[in-house]
Structure 1
Amino acid sequence: AKACGVNHIIVKPTDPDTVLEIVDEALGEKSKSAAIVPTPDFEREHLHLVTDKLSEKVEELETLTHQLEQEIVERKSAEDALRASEAHLQTVVENLDEGVIVSDLKGGLVQWNRAALTIHGYTKLEEGLRSQSDLVDTFELSTLGGTRVPLEEWPLFRILRGENLRDLELRVRNIRADWERIFNYGGTLVHDGSNEPVLAIVTVSDITQRKRVEERLREQADIINHARDAIIIRHFQDDRITFWNKGAEHLYGWTANEALGKPSWELLYADANERDAPLKVLLSTGEFHGELKQVTKGARDIVVDCRATLIRDPAGEPRSLLLINTDITEQKKLEMQLLRAQRLESIGTLAGGVAHDLNNVLGPILMGAESLRCNRTGEHAAAMISLIEESARRGSSIVKQVLTFARGVEGERVLINPRHLIDEMVEIAKRTFPKTIEVTGKYPEHPWAISGDPTQLHQVLLNLSMNARDAMGNGGSLILAAENVEVDDNFAAMMPGAKAGSYATLRVSDTGVGIPRALVEKIFEPFFTTKDPGKGTGLGLSTSLGIVKSHAGFISVSSEQGRGTTFTVFLPAVQADVAPCRKEAPPVTKGNGELVLLVDDEMNVRHVTKMTLETHNYCVLEANDGPEALAIFAQHKDSISVVLTDLIMPYIDGVALIRALKRIKPDMIFIASSGQDTEPRLVELQGLGVVNFLCKPYDTRKLLTVLESAVSKQLAPLPKK
């Protein structure tokens, strides 16, 4: 500027006095150099210029001052907001459940929040907590596996080296306080606007309790997974399996990978009714305990004791089913053997009564036949025929009951009318017990139905009735009764294994010697008996209790010495209609001239059957044995509609005959007949496709009904095994 001729410079901003001095100095130099004497007008003009310039500068100064004041106010507001934000952040950090430690870049611990102090066992910030190095004398860090962690690998130093930590789990031992816990560490470096690190933050949580819970859960899961019982969880809505333990793999043969995601009905059940059986109980009570028939991967039939629990979601809707299944297949086989042995004992005990009753049946038949031979008047003959018919029915009933009881088909659960059980037991007792014992049956007009195995429940009543008989050596009264009973919580609490609900009861009361109070608790123990040696095995009551428990029921006992004993069997009632005790017989059907080949080695049976069929419009060809039947069939195979054959015959038995005839004419219809327990043969017959069976002795109605069904191919099924 001086090179250009500038002698004076005013640096802005500057005060007015300095400006005037510089201006005067410049004017004085000019007057000296030019020798000019300022005039009054010049001075006045100069003064105006200076004054205007000063006014502008004052205005600029005022504007700057105002802006500065505004900036100061705004900066103060920002500082206040920052302080408030910092205070808020500090409050939040201070009250976090997670520990937070702030460090400078040299490892100095500048801040601990309350949780961090508490986690490490402190109540306030102490001198020994200012540096990570200060903590070495107090704390020792190691991995969960027990390997000690050196100081340079502690979480803070790893963060200061630039690592971002997350979920680092370490064991921390306080050497001085002698405790050990498990901490979860995290943390990172904090950078400024220039992306330069300014501090480090370490987060820490005490997860000791969580790790203990996880360990317990792992142990429990391991126990569940290796339990001998099959433990299964399946979705309630779509039946898909979501959990399958090792026990399930062992029991069913399916691996977890094969079973998970599959519907349980596809893997476990051959019968949909078995799968659906627990659902009604589960929806009403939330629990189910009972026996189910299932199948394995190898198609092996098994029986399981199933304990099921319904799991609901937070809204109360069914979500899953927890199933614990125990294989009791072998146990059931042993029970069946025990029950059959016990039945044989009972049959042996009843044999004398059965023989006596059969003699009473045969007597009227023999005498009636003699009377008919001697006296052929219509009225007398009709009376004798009725007597013979009734006696024969009684004899048939006795034999049928003995065979049914001896065979003992267990496992079939059906709806049962308790009246049927009472009536059958009353009939047996009246026939076989001493006449000095009065037997009475009682039941309500509409007894509640029960779901059970008729043979097993019949055995329970028989065992209890025989004990009552033995208790009344000098005679007395035996009452067999069925009742409908509601069991409340108070009564259920007094009876082991009982639950509140609706029950159909079977009661057996006697007027015998009674049971001593000291022995009442022992009577259900296996092999416990008060009878003389050779009079009983002591298995009757224990067997009965096992049967009742398998039906989800219980037994109560009331006894008074010298007055008698009452056993009451409680069985869960089922809301269903059961068949009435007596059905009106349908009308007898007649044939349409169909040709029947009748094969039986018993001439009397063959003769009466032929007469009956011919009376009802059937044509009959007779054969005395298998070879004769083969010869006749070969001649008339195109005309014969049905072959009715006995199973027990000489030369060729019924099964072999049917097999031979089916080779000649595969679509021939067969009816098998027998008076013995022929279960193995029934299995063979089913394999041959024969599903019609007549149990001897049969009456006209049964014969014609089965024959009509066979001819019309409305098949009458074989007896169930």
Structure 2
Amino acid sequence: MTPSLLSTTAPNAFSNWCDRMFVKDRPPLVRYTIAILAAAAALGLASLIPSRADPSHFSLFFVAVMLSSWYGGLGAGLVTMVLSALSIEYFFISPHHSIELEWRAFLRLGVFTAIAVLTSYLTTARKHAEQALRDAHDELDQRVRDRTAELAQANNTLRAEIVERKRAEQELLRLQLEMGRVERLATLGRMAGTIAHDLGTPLNSVLGYTQLLVQEDLPERARRRLTIIEAQINRMGEIIQRYLSHTRGSPLRNKVSINDLVRDTLLVLQPVFQQRGVEVTSMLAETLPIVYGDGNSIQRVLINLLDNALDACSKKGSVKIGTMACPVSANRAAGVAIEIADSGAGIPVEMLPKIFDLFVTTKPPGKGTGLGLVICQEIIKAHGGVINITSQVGQGTTVTIYLPSDARPMAPLTEERERNDRPHTDRG
């Protein structure tokens, strides 16, 4: 193992030493040309010194060796050293202009050569050490920058995760609060159904005795009062029947005149429009087909949507409501279309795809539950219809409702949604 290890490491060590000592980043012709010129320059300067025995000659050649070693590496330094030694021996050591050496001259030339070789080696080694130090500093600086960038990115990612987690926790808390509210509304709905059922029997008894009193011989004034009482009892019975039908999932099916329903709704909301200073315009078709369904539920949808339009409009705003007959087409039966448009602030584009989702609202906190449009959509679907919303920020919102006019059975409203039904809606 040892001979093999030495045989592989020794050449590598020698190769690394050569790479350090012999500069390879400059062309060889340039390096050795500089070496020759350095020796020639030293010779020229030394020739200007009057006394050839002056030690300054050696100093000039040492400087030439150092410069060529610094610029061209150890090889160039050795070339300058050889040329310098030959120049010193030929021009400055007696006998002049001769290569013959005495032992003293040979000794001086040997000392010069040794010092020149050492100078060339040390100069080259120092240059490479300085370059290695600069490279290490640059590498360390780059690593610090890379690590700093990684830490900054990790910090930004961590901050984003913290913000997202806080947002998710807040959303979860909001949903939990809304679910608690829905559960309370569901409990109230069940209680209302129970109360409505329990009130049915005594109301029937009161109605029966009232009808018996009307048949008796009474003064006209008393008879009119009994007639009013009878009408109100009948109205209470209709309200009870409607709640019971919703609870049982079997909606009422009556002939509904959409135009009359719109007029009645506008009459009910007229004081609110006047109080808020909003102008209401109606454009009703002269003739419309009859729609079969629950007029009270459809009116609740209209009230909710008009209330949304009022909330969206500022003073001097406007709301338009219109109706039109829809002929038979390839994808729908004949029916009636209702359109409600306002001049309000509009709905942001990112909220339109989820405007009918549960608990989604565009109203400020405390002013909307996110249930109104969900309930409106359920009521329209139960009548076999469709509700669509288009909006543009700053230009208002338009709600379009389509209701078929055929006499197909209505789909029952889901029990959970009907429990949450309230005469209030959200703009989203």
Which bin holds the TM-score, normalised by the shorter protein? 0.3 to 0.5
Structure with more strand by fraction? 1
Higher relative contact order (CA 8 A, sep 6+): 2
Structure with more helix by fraction? 2
| TM-score, reference length from structure 1 | 0.23
| TM-score, reference length from structure 2 | 0.37
